Amino acid sequence: MQSYVQIENAGMMFSTKKGTFTALTDINFNIDQGEFIALIGHSGCGKSTLLNLVAGLLDATDGVLLLANKEIKGPGPERSVVFQNHSLLPWLTAFENVYLAVEKVFGGSETKAQLKARTSAALDLVGLTHAAGKLPGEISGGMKQRVGIARALAMEPKVLLMDEPFGALDALTRAHLQDELMKIVAATKSTVIMVTHDVDEAVLLSDRIVMMTNGPAATIGEILSVDLPRPRDRLALAHDPHYHDLRSRVLEFLYSRQMRPKEAA
């Protein structure tokens, strides 16, 4: 079977004032439909750059990226992004923020009532029906991030891209949203790529963890399959030796084999 997302020999160079800077090199990686992939690595390892390549916000300087056998050229709503800092438009209400995306994707084929129903359903999915009329400035950070997720999901993307979606949240809110995300992904069977720097989050949520080496010229160091059965429960996993085994393998990669250069020096 053909893979859904194919990344072949992808590389990314940026031209800076000091010359070219190679961020990523030799990225080879395939993702199946419905898979949940976590990208993990130290900061500056280019994991967000890789996500932006799939999103189309950056164009790869080397290699090729395919989605459903079509080359990825530029951003598009079939690859919706949940941004690190929610990126809601502060002058639009939660509803309007989601509606803007829904209207763009389905506006050509559906009536206004249908579009509104889709928007309400997306907000309902993340449990924010009561906050639909609020501006982003009036709701908490966790709620904003949920609106961001609702916006991304409402577009019914082929691939959902998440750039450290819970990084800015406190631990309790983060755990709550992780649980919700697992339920939503199970229900919608979405293909997800998530950038994270949280080992527990990676093991808990993903089917495979892509571990990146340190930059510059970062590449994939190791891919770990997380064969824990679903649905997963964070409390049960806390006592699961296999969970701890997987977790320590990621930690071992990050802290002994890919020690941050500064700390190593």
Which residues would be at the binding site for other proteins (CB under 8 A)? 55-57, 74-77, 79-81, 83, 85, 87, 89-92, 100-101, 104, 135-137, 155
Give 54 or 199: the residue with its C-beta nearer to other proteins. Answer: 54
In the bound complex, what is the minimum distance in angstroms from residue 200's beta carbon to other proteins? Answer: 27
HSE on the CB side for 202, CA within 13 Å?
27
How buried is 94 (Cβ within 10 angstroms: 0-12 exposed, 13-18 middle, 19+ buried)? buried
Question: What is the nearest approach in angstroms of other proteins to the Cβ of residue 76?
Answer: 6
Closer to other proteins by CB, 25 or 49: give it.
49
- For residue 104, the minimal CB distance to other proteins (Å) is 5
Least CB distance from residue 112 to other proteins, whole Å?
16
Q: 5 in helix, strand or coil?
A: strand
Cβ distance to other proteins smaller for residue 97 or 219? 97
Spatial contact of 62 and 25, defined as CB atoms under 8 Å apart: yes
DSSP state of 254: I
Q: How far apart are CA 50 and CA 62, in angstroms?
A: 12
Q: How far is the CB of 57 from other proteins (least distance, A)?
A: 6
Residue 100 or residue 175: which is nearer to other proteins going by CB?
100
Rounded least distance, CB 10 to other proteins, Å: 19
Judged by CB, which is closer to other proteins: 55, or 211?
Answer: 55
Contact call for residues 52 and 58 (beta carbons, < 8 A): yes
Three-state DSSP class for 114?
A: helix
Torsion of Cα atoms, 52 then 55 then 58 then 64, to 10°: 110
CB 142 within 8 Å of CB 176: yes
- Residue 97 three-state SS: helix
158-175: string of b/e by CB count within 10 Å (b at 16+)? Answer: bbbbbbbbbeebeeebbb
Q: Among residues 63 and 76, whose Cβ is nearest to other proteins? A: 76
